[in-house]
Structure 1
Amino acid sequence: MTAEPAAVLAEEQALELLSRGSLELEGRLVDASNTTLRAEITLDGLTRRCVYKPVRGERPLWDFPDGTLAGREISAFLVSQATGWGLVPPTVLRDGPLGTGMCQLWIDEPGDASSLIGFVPAYDIPEGWIAVANARDEDGDAYALAHADDPRLARLAVLDAVINNADRKGGHVLYAPDGRIHGVDHGVSFHVENKLRTVLWGWTGKPLPDEATEMLSRLVAELDGGLGSRLEEHLTLTEVQTARTRARRLLRRGKFPQPPQDWPAVPWPPV
């Protein structure tokens, strides 16, 4: 069966499809460190592709000993959903061909999509981009890791600060045909220690945009209520409490966070 052209699904419709649809595995994404499979999922004549990450295929991580990576992926979606920004594709925890795992809607990227993050010549940083780190290629030529000063990326940087994302690579940012961007691969998030590691440091120390301040005010209230309870199904109580603290601190300071001093600030490879 071939998936139909990927028209945009409403979130509720996508979650219903992911939760109840029939999964047919297509193959494995070999670049992933944990078992990551692409599948077709079908419900009532509607077919889409999805990413399926079975818990049994997760490699144990010494610094994330509790819960599952799948649970952290679900938690990232729940927080994204509460922001109202739609940054993480619809994601559910469900049974599949290889057991319980995370199932996330596949995002088709347009063939002519130009990345908003990458290495650029240090002497020719595109207008409207922000340099994050210096680098050199094999010939010794100077490059800069940089990203666009784009409000969509700024939203993602705020989300990462709240969930303490330890692995925001450029390749973990997807560009949908409808112009939205999505962040994926959040299995190493929500640690109780500051492990924020990202390529989106361009706004370090700058004031948060007004929309982020308004969102954080709502998010703090939701973390104190129903959202916090839902997160406790996937994270430890301490991890949920620490996420609340991070959101409150971010709101109180009103600025983008500073890079950690005792933890590599940029993931490797960055893109």
Structure 2
Amino acid sequence: MRVRKVFTVLGALLTMAAVVPSSAGAGEDAEKTGAKKPTVVLVHGAFADGSSWNGVVERLQRKGFPVVAVANPLRSLTGDANYLRKVLATIDGPVVIAGHSYGGMVQSQAALGNPNVKSLVYVAAFAPENGESALELSNKFPGSTLGDTLSTVDIGDGSKDLVIQQDKYWQQFAADVSRRDATIAAATQRPVNDTALTEKAGDPAWRTIPSYFVVAGKDKNIPIASQKWMAERANARALVEVRGASHSVAVSQPEIVADLIVRAAR
């Protein structure tokens, strides 16, 4: 596996010491050289919304990075990628994209052929190869219990919207987040159309754009074995493993996620 540096995160306190960058970070480098800092574009996944990035946004803005948290439509992989592609077209200068969960599918498609995108960060996310779907990748290795927690809404066109049952959301999606915050997230989650999860991906941008991965040790949506396998296949520049983290690792460990994004922005 061509991974330049692997961090194993043992716990919140130890993790902070292990992965927080030195003072010579991307923000300082940009200030010294006068270079424009890249815009960080954050793409949420299914059963979440843009607020799931709040902790990461706060930390990136504190370091002086422009940030855009995209409202991912969650309707179809092709449509969602086209929407993200249009958002990217409005941004001048270099871009770093970070996608969570299904957001990794979307960024892999939308960034293809865009010379402004300098790196891709996958946060407990799918990094598909041509012809693979999110559903296929989530079941490639054992461990996902998502299917047993879902409810469906028939929207009348032959497809269904999927949501996580609210009383199961905390343990399934966000077990290392406070129960209060998980309960709010369960109530505000955005549904994903089933066609988005079954649509097969095209050629991925990670073949030509450097990739970085945060993998969640106790993810019940995307098994960690699948996350590590995708990172290895993508020849990730760096992989940060957060032991004990749920699928909502960007919520529970925003400092770790923001730190890797800063590294990817260098």
**Which structure: greater helix fraction?**
2
* TM norm structure 2: 0.28
The structure number with the bigger radius of gyration is 1
* TM norm structure 1: 0.28
